[in-house]
Amino acid sequence: MKLLKTVMALSMLTSLASFSVASSVQDGQSAKQDMKDAGHDTKNAAKDAGHATKKTAKKTGHAVKKNTKKAANKTASKTKEGAQKVEDKTQPQ
């Protein structure tokens, strides 16, 4: 009976030892893979940020162009209106 307990204890101890060695090897591979995954995630995040920046810059550029044209047309209209008023006032009656 005592021999059976000793054999069971030794087999449990051996299995635990092999499990801890296997898990430490696996943790080493896991850490390496975690670093690779982190690198890929960082790369993808940078790509997404670049695409968002490009989209925003394009949108802003279009808005600036539209508002600049609008302001130029309004300025030209008001200039023409002012010139017409001056012409009306300076014409002999």
Q: Looking at the domain assignment, is residue 29 inside a domain?
A: yes
Radius of gyration in angstroms for the set of CA atoms belonging to the chain, rounded to a whole number: 39
pLDDT digits (tens, 9 = 90+) for 4-57: 677 667 676 677 666 554 555 555 668 889 999 999 999 999 999 999 999 999
Q: Looking at the domain assignment, is residue 88 inside a domain?
A: no
Q: What is the pTM of this model?
A: 0.48
Q: Is 91 left (phi over 0), alpha (psi -120 to 50) or beta?
A: beta
Q: Hey, what are 91's tokens?
A: 């014409």
pLDDT digits (tens, 9 = 90+) for 72-88: 999 999 999 999 888 88
Q: Looking at the domain assignment, is residue 17 inside a domain?
A: yes
Residue 18 structural domain: 1-44
How many whole angstroms separate alpha carbon 44 and alpha carbon 74?
45
Q: Number of folded domains in the chain? A: 1
How many whole angstroms separate alpha carbon 42 and alpha carbon 40?
5
Q: Looking at the domain assignment, is residue 18 inside a domain?
A: yes
